[in-house]
Structure 1
Amino acid sequence: MIASLLLLSASVTVDSHLPPLLPWHGQSTSLLQNEGPLTTDFELSGGLVSPNYKNTKAFVNRLVAANPTQFKVNTIAKSNAGRDIQLLVASEDGEFDAEQISLSAKPTILVQSGIHAGEIDGKDAMFMLLRDIATGKRRDILSKVNILFIPILNVDGHERSSAYNRINQRGPANMGFRTNANNLNLNRDYTKLDTPEVRGVLSTIKRFAPDLYIDVHVTDGADYQYDVTYGYNPVFSSESPSVSEALDNYFKPVIDAKLAEQGHIPGPLVFVMDKREFKKGLAGWVATPRYSNGWGDLRSLPTILVENHSLKPYKQRVLGTYVFIVGAIDALSEHQQQLANAVKKEKAFVPSELIVERSYAKEPNTLAFKGIKYKRYQSALSGQIEVKYLGEKQAYDALPIYWQKKVKTSVKVPSAFYIPAAYPKIVEKLKLHGVNVERVTTTKPIPELQVASVDSYEFDKVPFEGRFRVKASFSFSKVVNNNLVDWYKVSTQQPLGELATHLLHPQAPDSFFAWGEFNTIFQRTEYMENYALAPFARQMLKDQPALALEFDKKLRDDSVFAEDAQARLDWLYERSPFYDKAYLKYP
């Protein structure tokens, strides 16, 4: 208890640098209890503390013990540091098996907390809601939906706990760290699947087939009035536009009304173009598949990213999350069929072209926005203009917002990709994503088969998420007399064909190629000897007059080449049958 009091007193001092608060007295405070069965650590602390890993597991066990006929806890993965990642399954009829849940007539909601362990609002909100279910206060919830709940995804980062992990966040008193024990950001891992944590999430989704996926975060950035912001890829940029439209039409009105009724201010998931001049406008972000909501959008899994406002007090944020989740459950129960129809439509659609990379539009749209007054001042510390938020309301009638509407890269969707048998890890990852993969058994040549050759490439100078990513330009050429027996075939004419294209097309920024899965193709492992190449090349040019003319022309037109003996020999070697035909070829 003494340690807890010390933490609470520390929280006062570490908040003193933050902007002043607007007063808040939401109706949702009535959800709190101060005593009685299953009162949470969050409630006992007055809304300031979130329990550590050990106490979190203990509370999960107490929930299950209080309601064993409707709650069950499973371990979905183990972190690299050896901690269990738990999944609590809640079902009215005691159907806990993944197959039973996936075939249930009731929709299933998956709520995920702590992918960034300092952003832990979802854990304490769901503990309160599950407590209310267990004690009968919200017995109606499980008559509407089945619940899957991950209390802490980033369990190792959760235990790297400190009052000083997030400089722009009000509580909890001690909070976890953003990345896991290997310093990897789990919400950048949805394509490459390097972490056991995200692999556990994908395995859970594949087995349980939830109808709605909610990933709870706390945002960075500017000050504004909204305490609960949330979003999903907008219709214009979504690869599942019918799903985004269903979320707009059937979910957003229910959630927003529920939040407003309880004294919270729901807002759009946006960021700021210039953090030192708010009036320049907002950035309308479109998530790519490395993120949970971008990945969900690609596979037609309705996915909502919640970003509570970091400057609002922890108690307010947790209560807002509770209300948000109840609103999402009500909307899912009421509009299950409309959402299912949208998902079915999107899974049946096979595009001929995909946008894989976007940039911000030069011309903005506008929106009404509930901001906070600020002033700009010359900082003696930074030597530049900085911003100070004043804690007073500022309404914008038409604030500019720049959406990522500009198409930067698009690719043609092939009918299928073929993967050599030497890449079983790629096949394993595709299957974990839920992509259907077949083994090629015929020796019959594949018509119109093409191979991508790297024309130029550049590696990142520093690692990102543990990888040296690579950017490249490609040319494509037809492969004749191919025999792909024992290779793997990934058809794009399947429900997850769009996701497969993002993962396997080398021009996609979140592809396995871009993440460095095929970096060995940049290695040369066989080399020439000049004493052998010179006589062979002389005969090769004699036998191929067109090649000899090309060589002579390059000598005449390129003086640098003509004076570089090694470049001349390299040119001849590359055109000889001894040159490595797999070098710079995408497998």
Structure 2
Amino acid sequence: MKRSALLILSCFLTFQSLAQQVDRSLLIKPERTNYRETSTYQEVIDFTSLVTKDSKYVSKVSMTTSLEGKDIPVFVLANPKIETPEQAKASGKPVIYIQGNIHSGEVEGKEVVQILMRDILTGDKGYLLDNQIILFVPIYNTDSNDKMEAGRRPSQEGSPIETGIRSNSQGWDLNRDGMKMETIESRGLIQNIIVPWDPTLFVDLHTTNGTWHGYSLTWAPSYHSAGEKAPYDFTWDRILPEVTEKALDKHNVHLGPYGYYYTRREGWPIKSIYTYNHHPRYLVNQFGLRNRMAILSEAFAHERLYQRINSTYAFVSEILEFTNKNGSEMLKINAQAEQDAINLVKEQGGKVQKGVRFQMAALDDPITAYRTYNHMETTNERGQKTYLRKPEIIELKDVVNYSAFEATKTATLPKGYLIPKEFASIAEHLRMHGVKVTELTKNKRAKGEIFTATKLERSNRAFEKHKMATIEGSYAASNKKFGKGDFWVDMAQPLANLIFYLLEPESDDGLVTWNFFDEHFDSNGIAEKPVEYPIFKYFEIK
């Protein structure tokens, strides 16, 4: 055989060995349409039913049923099979939760979860179940997924051609509902999955809204704010750097830190990037208050759907590689953070201050080489200086990364809170979050502080159907008696930091902010006189 023929045969055999044999029935909608279309709800249900059929490694649980009657399935992948939270806890393995389609226009997470389920259950990634339990949620926002039209996501430039809408069927953004929990989906997620299954790591899959950075995907950890720092540190220092390196080495995919930049503010080249808000209304951030790890994934909107699927797949698969190797260490870090939160209450309750309002700040270390599309300076039709994107990607040196938060307002961490029986709805809301709340059967005398509000302002424009409230006032020492039917929240429990952020009246994302106490303040005449906040913060109780 001639050398040229041998070379051709060698190349053919090489390419043939790279080809992955996939049963056509196990192709997802984008694969079958050359990545022009995304999966409908029924197509996700049909695919996941097929790929999990007869598998000895999968159980299916329901998160909840949506307003339009659609089940939100959660697939539990484990070896050996796990069917209940109790079995998961008894296994000693970390639970890794991965969610797609919180915003129905951001579709690649939904598709990647399906592909990963296929690769783990029928392909070559079954070993990812050796040391962990994976909870896959391919289609969180079920109702809005099928409300598809073209042009809904302009930054995605028609790839796919049609997408669903951002909000759920009740008109709320599911990623702004973490504290108020008004949506059916959020309540199902927290009550039926997060509280009982207690994920070690929560991963939420999104697409950016348009900044022309030079990464195929950007990431962020859970910004802990008032929470414990260790889970954040491990995510920032260990998980994200290793996953970023592996994604480049193994998949040739560039990952980097999440952030926006503003040429109008800084000119070109830009000098800084800015992350999103610290508020725990965002699900990823709330995990910082739950002493758990979480990661935000944001595929680059301007790449085509097949590229976004590729980068998201690289990111999530490398996260699962990391957690499969390091899950035991992650469990220990989270457990210690939980104990640290409890110990702080026991040892420093009534003495130490914690942040309740925050502002964005720069990290100590700048980004040494920040990838971005280049820009050129020009003028617009009005003669104003502006910047237009160029086609090449460059690296900018020493870009300041505004991905830290510092407290602008603090409050004393208490030993606990007492809630009058008239506010039973507040006690119930805490319970939905997983907080232990005790209804009193006998009198309790407490020494602590009462907050008196002197002013309550509401925003002029509604956000998520709320005119957000900001309160002004001060604490003063007080003694109070509470009796049968009132509610007692002892802060020496795992969710101490979440309780603090929810109940502190001056919190920038607490229940006062979300109008839970408006009726109380209005009916007691806050517009004309000071009004006491009804939740009592105690330092001693008998």
Normalising by structure 2, we get a TM-score of 0.86
1:51 and 2:39 are equivalent in the alignment: yes
Report the secondary structure of 1:192's partner residue.
coil
Residues 139 and 360 (structure 1), Cα distance of their counterparts in 2 relative to 1, 3 Å cut: closer
Asked if the contact 2:370/2:395 (under 8 Å) is kept, the reply is yes
Asked if the contact 2:217/2:255 (under 8 Å) is kept, the reply is yes
Residue of structure 2 equivalent to 1:533 = none
Residues 122 and 275 (structure 1), Cα distance of their counterparts in 2 relative to 1, 3 Å cut: farther
Residue of structure 1 equivalent to 2:140 = 153
Spell out, residue by residue over 1:120-154, the C-alpha distance to the aligned partner (whole angstroms, 9 max, x if none): 21111121111122224222122232111111111
Residue of structure 1 equivalent to 2:187 = 199
User: What is the aligned counterpart of 2:79 among 68, 79, 92?
Assistant: 92
Residue of structure 2 equivalent to 1:557 = none
Asked if the contact 1:32/1:43 (under 8 Å) is kept, the reply is no
Residue of structure 1 equivalent to 2:151 = 164
Asked if the contact 1:287/1:293 (under 8 Å) is kept, the reply is no
Asked if the contact 1:457/1:473 (under 8 Å) is kept, the reply is yes
Report the secondary structure of 2:366's partner residue.
strand
Asked if the contact 1:415/1:493 (under 8 Å) is kept, the reply is yes
1:585 and 2:538 are equivalent in the alignment: no
Residues 514 and 31 (structure 1), Cα distance of their counterparts in 2 relative to 1, 3 Å cut: farther
Asked if the contact 1:113/1:120 (under 8 Å) is kept, the reply is yes
Spell out, residue by residue over 1:278-330, the C-alpha distance to the aligned partner (whole angstroms, 9 max, x if none): 61421144522111111001111111111111111111111222222221112
Report the secondary structure of 1:89's partner residue.
strand
Residue of structure 1 equivalent to 2:7 = none
Deviation, structure 1 residue 396: 0.4
Residue of structure 1 equivalent to 2:305 = 314
The farther-off stretch of 87-96 and 499-508 is 87-96
Residue of structure 1 equivalent to 2:494 = 495
Distance in structure 1 (CA, Å) of the matches to 2:388 and 2:173: 30
Residue of structure 1 equivalent to 2:121 = 134
Residues 481 and 259 (structure 1), Cα distance of their counterparts in 2 relative to 1, 3 Å cut: closer
Distance in structure 2 (CA, Å) of the matches to 1:192 and 1:181: 17
Distance in structure 1 (CA, Å) of the matches to 2:506 and 2:234: 31
Spell out, residue by residue over 1:78-129, the C-alpha distance to the aligned partner (whole angstroms, 9 max, x if none): 2223222121121222222222123223222110111111112111112111
1:374 and 2:375 are equivalent in the alignment: yes
Number of aligned residue pairs: 505
Matches within 5 A, 1:219-230: 219-230=208-219
AA matched with 2:455:
S
Residue of structure 2 equivalent to 1:389 = 389
Distance in structure 1 (CA, Å) of the matches to 2:29 and 2:52: 17
Residue of structure 2 equivalent to 1:360 = 360
Residue of structure 1 equivalent to 2:131 = 144
The farther-off stretch of 194-203 and 240-249 is 240-249
AA matched with 1:247:
T
Structure 2: 5+ residue stretches without partners: 1-14, 345-351, 536-542
User: What is the aligned counterpart of 1:305 among 278, 296, 300?
Assistant: 296
Report the secondary structure of 1:140's partner residue.
helix
Spell out, residue by residue over 1:156-198, the C-alpha distance to the aligned partner (whole angstroms, 9 max, x if none): 2212212211111242222121111222111111010000111
Deviation, structure 1 residue 494: 1.4
Residues 246 and 451 (structure 1), Cα distance of their counterparts in 2 relative to 1, 3 Å cut: same
Deviation, structure 1 residue 403: 4.0
Residue of structure 2 equivalent to 1:292 = 283
Residue of structure 1 equivalent to 2:63 = 76
Asked if the contact 2:30/2:37 (under 8 Å) is kept, the reply is yes
Spell out, residue by residue over 1:376-434, the C-alpha distance to the aligned partner (whole angstroms, 9 max, x if none): 44444x88554422220121011233344442122211111111122232222211211
Distance in structure 1 (CA, Å) of the matches to 2:120 and 2:277: 35
Deviation, structure 1 residue 37: 4.3
AA matched with 1:371:
T
Give the structure with higher Rg (CA): 1
Deviation, structure 1 residue 253: 3.6
User: What is the aligned counterpart of 2:255 among 263, 266, 274?
Assistant: 266
Report the secondary structure of 1:202's partner residue.
helix
Residues 144 and 50 (structure 1), Cα distance of their counterparts in 2 relative to 1, 3 Å cut: farther
Distance in structure 2 (CA, Å) of the matches to 1:172 and 1:201: 28
1:116 and 2:106 are equivalent in the alignment: no
AA matched with 2:456:
Y
Residue of structure 1 equivalent to 2:27 = 39
Residues 444 and 146 (structure 1), Cα distance of their counterparts in 2 relative to 1, 3 Å cut: closer
Matches within 5 A, 1:411-560: 411-446=411-446, 448-480=447-479, 482-524=481-523
AA matched with 2:30:
F
1:208 and 2:207 are equivalent in the alignment: no
Residues 93 and 405 (structure 1), Cα distance of their counterparts in 2 relative to 1, 3 Å cut: closer
Residue of structure 2 equivalent to 1:332 = 323
Structure 1: 5+ residue stretches without partners: 1-26, 527-566, 575-580
**Identity value in percent:** 23
Normalising by structure 1, we get a TM-score of 0.80
Distance in structure 2 (CA, Å) of the matches to 1:70 and 1:521: 51
Asked if the contact 1:451/1:479 (under 8 Å) is kept, the reply is yes
Residues 412 and 481 (structure 1), Cα distance of their counterparts in 2 relative to 1, 3 Å cut: closer
Spell out, residue by residue over 1:246-269, the C-alpha distance to the aligned partner (whole angstroms, 9 max, x if none): 223432243123211211001011
Asked if the contact 1:238/1:244 (under 8 Å) is kept, the reply is no
Distance in structure 1 (CA, Å) of the matches to 2:38 and 2:433: 32
Asked if the contact 1:454/1:586 (under 8 Å) is kept, the reply is no
